[in-house]
Amino acid sequence: MRVLVKLGGTLLDSLDSRAALAAQIAALPSTGVEAVVVHGGGKQMTRFLTERGVESRFVNGLRVTSPDVIDAVLKVFAGSVNKELVSSLVAAGAPAVGLSGIDGVLAEARQLNPELGAVGEIVQTNPAVLNALVEHGFIPVVACVAGDRQGGIYNVNADQMAVACAAGYEAARLLFLTDVDGVRAADGTTLPVLDVAGCQELIAQGVATGGMQAKLNSACAALAQGVGEVIIAPGSAPRVIERLLNGEVLGTRIVKEAQQ
């Protein structure tokens, strides 16, 4: 079974958390799961820029990506965050290979909006590089950076990158592992299931905001693009990947229409 695991940057910010997730991912091939990993690194990027006196600015949850920032996108997402995760996976016994959307023309993007600078929206994926790596037993680890055929480089929201890769790779399941228990309702409880209409409602009511608003939009896009199962779950829960794949109710399952 093909599974796309998306790891948020906060989960990758400590060696212990990274190692725990790497151990779980390294165990997947022995259970017949052909995994592809997509990761973010928003927290690491904001820190990197702050240390260099560059303020982070977001519009609708997307980082305004000036030329300064695109240089950092390569250094942080495709550089340190990607290689630290790959090395944790290798340490856990997994033959992981780090790449970005630029490599093998995996993810082609175009500028989303000139006001955001080099923020990309993915227009096409070419999953051949993922298929080739997986076929030979490697685990692809994809940074949220895309390119175009003219040499352009784009910063892509990591959830959107995960959806594009999941659809292109024809993953049966997409697991968004993040730093909260799942999607919270207005009363603070975590919702076990949420349908597309419910996602829109939570966004309209201002209950799902910022990163979660973007994640819900991505989750709905994944369902529309044919991914069978989409779950938003806490990356810090013990054995979270195995439990989700075994059907345990953990986090929030996003479905097209809730069963009455």
By CB under 6 A, is residue 141 in contact with ligand X2W?
A: no
By CB under 6 A, is residue 41 in contact with ligand X2W?
A: yes
Q: In whole angstroms, how close is the CB of 58 to ligand X2W at the nearest point? A: 7
Cα separation, 182 vs 216, in Å, equals: 11
Confirm or deny that 41 is annotated as ligand binding: yes
Q: In whole angstroms, how close is the CB of 33 to ligand ADP at the nearest point? A: 21
By CB under 6 A, is residue 225 in contact with ligand ADP?
A: no
Do 191 and 232 meet the contact criterion of CB atoms below 8 Å apart? no
User: Based on CB atoms, which residue is closest to ligand ADP, 102 or 194?
Assistant: 194
Residue 2 interacting entry, from ligand ADP, ligand X2W, none, C-beta within 5 to 8 Å by type: none
The residues that are catalytic are 6, 9, 42, 159, 215
Residue 119 interacting entry, from ligand ADP, ligand X2W, none, C-beta within 5 to 8 Å by type: ligand X2W
Paired residues of 120 in beta bridges? 111
Do 110 and 116 meet the contact criterion of CB atoms below 8 Å apart? no
Q: In whole angstroms, how close is the CB of 191 to ligand ADP at the nearest point? A: 8
User: Based on CB atoms, which residue is closest to ligand X2W, 48 or 169?
Assistant: 48
> Measured at CB, which residue is nearest to ligand X2W?
40
Selected binder of ligand X2W within 8, 140, 182, 235 (CB under 6 A): 8
Q: Pick out residues in 153-182 that bind ligand ADP (CB under 6 A).
A: 159, 178-180
Q: Pick out residues in 91-120 that bind ligand X2W (CB under 6 A).
A: 119
CB atoms within 10 A of CB 196: 17
The residues binding ligand X2W (CB under 6 A) are: 8-9, 40-42, 45, 62-63, 119, 144, 155-158, 211
Q: Which residues bind ligand ADP (CB under 6 A)?
A: 8-10, 40, 42, 159, 178-180, 183-184, 207-212, 215
